[in-house]
Amino acid sequence: MKNLSFPGLPRVLIVDDEEGVREGLRGMLQREGLHVETAGSAEDGVRRVESRGFDVVFLDLNLPGADGLSMLGRLRRGTPPADVVVLTGYGTVANTVEAMRKGACDVIEKPFASDRILAVVRRSLETRQLKNELTWLQDRVRELTSTELVGLSPAIREVQTRIDQVAHAPDTTVLVTGQSGTGKELVARCIHERSARRHGPFVALNCAALTESLLEAELFGYEPGAFTGAQKEGKDGLFAVASGGTLFLDEIGEMEPTLQAKLLRVLQERSFRRVGGVQDIPADVRIVASTNRDLRQMVQAGRFREDLFYRLNVMTVHVPPLCQRAADIPLLSHFFLDQIGRQMGKALSGFTEESMETLCEYTWPGNVRELRNAVEHACIVCPNGMIDEIHLPKFTGGSLDGSDRIDRGAVVLQGEDRSIKALESQLVAKVLDDTQWNISRAAAILGINRTTLYNKIRVYELGKRPLRGKVVV
């Protein structure tokens, strides 16, 4: 039993009214390094099980008070339920059958040999350990392949519809655009998993991570001795590895122009050549490319091939920044809390109203990835119970890029009133408008705290704040 690894000692409960039996079993099992508790009645046994679960329960059927058979179900509480081994002095067939029917895993007749007891415990613990490992692995696999694009906002629904459309055309090239951390890779995985190619591989390559020659060898593979340092027997490239599936080319905007030309050729010919090779190999892959750059602008600036741009741009999926789908923040936050809490083995029950308000009002320049990181931070810091504001990381507001930049346009004084108050009320109104009534962001721009801003809204009667989550997208 020493070779079994359990989180903590395996726990065994012995329910028997004969002290000799209880103590004999306790000594035998404790010598094997197990945690053993005993109970003289079924009621006492149930009380112990209810306070903390056990792995194995030895249960005598003939007990004073409630009999063992009727309490068997209640002794199997816990996840996973305990393995109950029935001890019986008069092993009538009826008793045994009834005990097994109620979920007992084995029946041992008294008087018992210690070998038999140890063999039963060993088998039970081994099976439980295998089951634990299996559940753990299944959870990890589910996480790794979890391609759930969480969100109910109109903006994310549009993305989901688009994914379904392109999934039905399994050979069409797709371009996924959006700021960093919006979920472009997740979208690419969703496209793969919902397409007819889902039984094939999904292979991802970050085009920014490799030099041009390495990237070429990585994509197309190479023939033996194609270049110095090449493996003797040559190597398959990702076009070959991803055959039958999807090849995800991340950060395509970073690809060098010469390689862009080679990729264009594959998209046109639907075949490729290994580096140093002369044979055309059919390319049975769907390309999903992604970028956080404005490829059209790069084309205009002469930094991205126009012909490749049009080849990639057959179907696009644009993933909007998180601030344009703020209605999804509560759902995403709970999704990550559940996911990360489970990974950490912590039972966190949710977010306080204040912490959720802070999450909803922040601008998330790092998008969904930043939100996930914030929830992970909170999960580490929060001991248990609810995530409160103090558990959240300090948000610095982050600098916003591209489409999110706020228009600093002039405030034109309306009407005759030239007072400072009139100017202030119109400035506050404009900033609130520009930030779609995001109070934290507006307060940061105005250089005042949120309470002061709420006061000004009240004093200047600037109207009601829209309901949380109803931000216009």
Residues that bind ligand ATP (CB under 6 A): 148-151, 178, 180-186, 292, 332, 335, 368-369, 372
Residue (of 82, 69, 104, 64) closest to 11 by Cα position: 82
287 binds, among ligand ATP, Mg ion, none (CB under 5 to 8 A by kind): none
Q: How far is the CB of 192 from ligand ATP (least distance, A)?
A: 13
404 vs 385: CA distance, rounded Å: 35
186 binds, among Mg ion, ligand ATP, none (CB under 5 to 8 A by kind): ligand ATP
User: In this complex, which beta carbon is closest to Mg ion, that of residue 120 or of residue 332?
Assistant: 332
User: In this complex, which beta carbon is closest to Mg ion, that of residue 185 or of residue 284?
Assistant: 185
304 binds, among ligand ATP, Mg ion, none (CB under 5 to 8 A by kind): none
Q: What share of the chain is helix, strand, coil (3-state, %, to 5)?
A: 45, 15, 40
Report the run of H or E that residue 129 belongs to, with start and end. helix 114-144
245 binds, among Mg ion, ligand ATP, none (CB under 5 to 8 A by kind): none
Residue 185 interacts with Mg ion (CB under 5 A)?
yes
Instruction: Report residue 205 as tokens.
Output: 């390559």
Residue (of 293, 245, 287, 297) closest to 264 by Cα position: 287
Instruction: Report residue 419 as tokens.
Output: 């007072």
CB 17 within 8 A of CB 40: yes
Residue 254 interacts with Mg ion (CB under 5 A)?
no
3-class secondary structure, 246: strand
373 vs 353: CA distance, rounded Å: 20
Q: How far is the CB of 240 from ligand ATP (least distance, A)?
A: 24
287 vs 315: CA distance, rounded Å: 11
User: In this complex, which beta carbon is closest to ligand ATP, that of residue 22 or of residue 184?
Assistant: 184
User: In this complex, which beta carbon is closest to ligand ATP, that of residue 338 or of residue 417?
Assistant: 338
Contact window for Mg ion (CB under 5 A) among 93-101, 141-149, 183-191, 315-323:
183-191
287 vs 448: CA distance, rounded Å: 49
User: In this complex, which beta carbon is closest to Mg ion, that of residue 222 or of residue 248?
Assistant: 248
How many residues does the structure list for the chain?
A: 473
Q: Which residue is nearest to ligand ATP (CB)?
A: 183
Contact window for Mg ion (CB under 5 A) among 129-137, 180-188, 306-314, 328-336:
180-188
362 binds, among ligand ATP, Mg ion, none (CB under 5 to 8 A by kind): none
